[in-house]
Chains A and B, each alone.
Chain A
């Protein structure tokens, strides 16, 4: 039973309170850019995701808690959460990730 730190509740909560919400930092293009994208480019935005081995930036939803979506860095190999951060914040830098590991 994973413990996940909700950055809004500021607490570790068990994983059953959350729902996984896919890779983070994928920005939906605005309407004009959408209309200029080829079907191929649009499919890439829709369906192609990184299958990253190691520190992965992803989203979680605290649906049985505060109802907020947030971001997390989780190592997909060890399944350990390195850090969580609020929605809208930038992907942490390598330095920030290393600091969070300590």
Chain B
């Protein structure tokens, strides 16, 4: 295999020979090579096939802006990363990479046939074709498009790697370690304060890594770089981070860095994190991100071998690789000349420079001619030739109407430079159009940040170094010997005799968007750049338009006939380059994804086969299946046992708030629509809490522990909301009240005992409390102890059976539960879960806020007008209850439903209609809120909110379902023991 190394590159270590494979073929490279430099050294230019047209593609650039040369990186064991840029992938021994989007192989790809039919696939074709017949979409069109389109394959295995994350602070964060960033870091290191210097590449230096022929302060640039690196490494206050990309910039100088730790290693230490996300809060940010060269938009500009000119320069100097043996140049900017001269001086044949401009600097022209390079001014390229690699091109001189062919094996181009404004824009810094550069540059900062070097339009090493100093008020000037960066013009309209319709001039290489597509978009009425972007998909590929945005903007504004500033620029969004999902996830995966709140009794449930359900962040036992029971069987058994004898339930998740103070009652009266004044110490009352809008917000039983002390309970899910609601009113409206709130949800474990034997089991265990019906009526609370544990013992019931809720300090919860399970075996004590709890309360018509209410249900709607105190001066929600809409007749009201066929259980959420035969769309008069099979009653029971429900007792209603219409009768929502005899025993 021929070798294209011309010299030793600045980052290359020739002692380290590395074997790697591309499409299963073995190649060799050196330590320091990227995949692209190693392949180019082996003469390989064909890297992939394009997204839409399957055109052969090569390497365009040498950096992270690469749109074409993307490969699939296989680390084995199912660890596959698609769409990795060959220009940033470091080779290591045993590296395996594969080209993408071709079948059966890269050289002969049948997908390329659509290249011939590409006239049918212009921009927006998805919106216009494959529409008819409709049935073909699923079976024919979609599979066809799916197979043809796309880039690399998605991995199918779960990501087995670890990802780390950390938070850091510093006084100065410098992003980019080219000359500007390094000079800034050197100056900053002399001052107080922590400095972090970040670069996406494996080594710092940026453009200095390909500038050995330049001089800084009388030494070669490479030597200056080496000394600077040494100084920075020795500084106590400087942290250098390489292989680290600043992916986004957020409020208040919060910057995220994605550090790649192991992808470049052939042997990864066991358990080592693959990547690390650093969240940095910096006092000051210095952006030194550099600039990206612009491609020229001309017919056939996408062939393998067509590259950006600075890429050729970088491959030569940094990697020692020449991109061809017979190189030609197409440019409208002076900077390409420097590349030409360096190639020539390295004994690479450079035959011609095709320059779009009429005139150029005389000195440049002379330097070219002295090297034997023929310069054609006022010239353009109208066609390129070659199938899998460029082999020649046609020069077109419009003024002379002259055409001629030139042979080449690489064509390098420069259409000017685009300062990188990505992070600046994330930080909401504004940008302004600079006519001379034909580019946007930074304008006003929104955070404590500034741009130095070419990212603010200041080109050349001297300017970069000096700005790195001046940004810290260091006025020292560097002495730099370099070729002047020069100037250029940006032309969105490359002269050609080939009509625009026949040209394939690419703007966005990765998404296969051509100049024609952009013109078509404007022709079809898309005048804003945001619309042009989305209609053509220009700038929407994984490279986020780094090499295409401004060219697209130029073409769009030319077509629209408006200035560039008027057409606008699309939004830059993080991440700057594609970032692994795992890096964002960090440690918050699997068990750590969401905190799981568990009660003290959870351990018993887990070892007793509980099936759980999430309630907010809590996990609650839903049912406890015995043997082979399914949920219905388990729940039926749990309900029956509880009503027959004794059930035990973990109610610890219920919200609890201790309301204390001389004004506690005043406060409670304001927060609830129920009245508290008459509630005696030692008694409990059901509390209904409304929002200021008059709708039910939460509910719960409240116990009066003392004159100035209430033990308030809330729903499980509502606890945080209720606490916020109370604190808000207390701190901001009723702040003259002398009362304070403490959230005690996690301080009390709560065990509910329900059933005819609920008192029997407690009798021998409780001390200091008379449990008899006369001294401990339903809805009261007593203080005492149980098995020596201090307790607030509530006599309350959510089941309609005799019930108690034992509140003990939470660390006693598990022990008490186990004692009760042992003591209760003689009563066939049955643990039940949330499902049985739901059924038992529904049989009694008790509502569950958030299930039977949805934030639009008033107390009256829920049949609880009795709960609203009549004589209160003020309470939250009082005024709204008087609103016309809240007292109107046709409101949805909570009623019960009994199905015509008692074995049919309605689906919660299903809609209720009066006439099932009416045409669609039917008038829906309500919906089912709760619905269960009642083992105790031997039939299904349901609750529903139905328009004017209270006036429909006995009426038949219908619930249409896909499987058929169900008939049900409206009734009262209390199904079991309506007189309430069982609860008062």
Contact = CB atoms under 8 A, between A and B. Distances in A.
A48 to B, nearest CB: 13
Interface string B709-743: 00000000000000010011001110100000000
B879 A35 contact: yes
Nearest to A79: B251
Interface in B862-903: 873-874, 878-880, 883-884
Nearest to A43: B883
Nearest to B250: A1
A46 B881 CA distance: 13
B446 interface: yes
B724 A61 contact: yes
Contacts of B666: none
Interface string B921-946: 00000000000000000000000000
Interface string B731-759: 11101000000000000000000000000
A2 B251 contact: yes
B366 to A, nearest CB: 52
Given A3-B251, A39-B883, A78-B446, A87 B874 contact: no
B878 A87 contact: no
Contacts of B693: 46
B252 A2 contact: yes
A37 B879 contact: yes
Interface in B214-256: 250-252, 254
B19 interface: no
B428 interface: yes
A69 B874 contact: no
A46 B731 contact: no
B602 interface: no
Most chain B beta-carbon neighbours within 10 Å: one of A1, A27, A37, A43: A1
B880 A46 contact: yes
Given A1-B252, A35-B879, A79-B251, A87 B724 contact: no
Nearest to A26: B732
B880 A63 contact: no
A21 B727 CA distance: 12
A78 B692 CA distance: 32
B874 A3 contact: no
A28 B252 contact: no
A31 B873 contact: yes
A10 B606 CA distance: 45
Contacts of A42: 879-880, 883
Given A30-B874, A35-B879, A37-B879, A19 B724 contact: yes
A68 B731 contact: yes
A34 interface: yes
A83 to B, nearest CB: 15
Contact of B692 (A46, A59, A63): A46
Interface in A36-69: 37, 39, 42-43, 46, 59, 61, 63, 67-69
A4 to B, nearest CB: 9
A28 B251 contact: no
Given A31-B873, A34-B878, A69 B732 contact: yes
Interface majority SS (helix, strand, loop, mixed), chain B: mixed
A86 B656 CA distance: 28
B43 to A, nearest CB: 49
A37 to B, nearest CB: 7
Contacts of B727: 61, 67, 69
Interface in B424-442: 428
Nearest to A71: B732
A30 B883 CA distance: 17
Contacts of B446: 78, 80
Interface in A69-99: 69, 78-80, 87-88
Contacts of B878: 31, 34
Interface string B405-432: 0000000000000000000000010000
A15 B281 CA distance: 13
Interface residues of A, number: 28
A28 B733 contact: yes
Contacts of B251: 1-3, 15, 79
A94 B733 CA distance: 25
Contacts of B728: 21, 61, 69
Contacts, number: 55
Contacts of B692: 28, 46
A30 to B, nearest CB: 7
A78 B884 CA distance: 41
Contact of A59 (B732, B873, B883): B732
Contact of A88 (B254, B735, B874, B884): B735
Contacts of A87: 731-732, 735
A34 B731 contact: no
B593 to A, nearest CB: 17
A43 B204 CA distance: 62
A34 B874 contact: yes
Contacts of A46: 692-693, 880
Contacts of B724: 19, 61, 63
Contacts of A3: 251-252
Interface in B306-365: none
Nearest to A42: B879
B382 to A, nearest CB: 49
A67 B724 CA distance: 9
Nearest to A3: B252
A42 B702 CA distance: 30
A75 to B, nearest CB: 11
A24 B410 CA distance: 66
A3 B252 CA distance: 7
Nearest to B731: A69
A3 B251 CA distance: 8
Contacts of A67: 727
A88 B731 CA distance: 9
A53 to B, nearest CB: 16
A28 B691 CA distance: 13
Contacts of B883: 39, 42-43
A3 B447 CA distance: 12
B884 A39 contact: yes
B281 to A, nearest CB: 8
A99 to B, nearest CB: 20
Nearest to A33: B879
A95 to B, nearest CB: 25
A63 B719 CA distance: 14
Contacts of A2: 251-252
B421 to A, nearest CB: 19
Contacts of A31: 873-874, 878
A51 to B, nearest CB: 20
Contacts of B254: 1
Most chain B beta-carbon neighbours within 10 Å: one of A21, A28, A35, A79: A28
Most chain A beta-carbon neighbours within 10 Å: one of B250, B724, B878: B724
A27 B692 CA distance: 13
B742 to A, nearest CB: 10
Nearest to A15: B251
Nearest to B446: A78
A31 B735 CA distance: 16
B285 to A, nearest CB: 14
A46 B727 CA distance: 19
Interface in A1-33: 1-3, 15, 19, 21, 27-28, 30-31
29 contacts: A1-B254, A1-B281, A2-B252, A15-B251, A19-B724, A21-B728, A28-B733, A31-B878, A35-B879, A39-B883, A42-B879, A42-B883, A43-B883, A46-B692, A46-B693, A46-B880, A61-B728, A63-B724, A67-B727, A68-B731, A69-B727, A69-B731, A78-B446, A79-B428, A80-B446, A87-B731, A87-B735, A88-B732, A88-B735
Q: List the 8 closest A-B pairs by CB distance, nearest first.
A: A31-B874, A34-B879, A1-B254, A3-B252, A2-B251, A69-B731, A28-B733, A31-B873
Given A27-B733, A30-B874, A59-B732, 12 more contacts: A3-B252, A28-B692, A31-B873, A34-B878, A39-B883, A61-B724, A61-B727, A61-B728, A69-B728, A87-B731, A88-B732, A88-B735
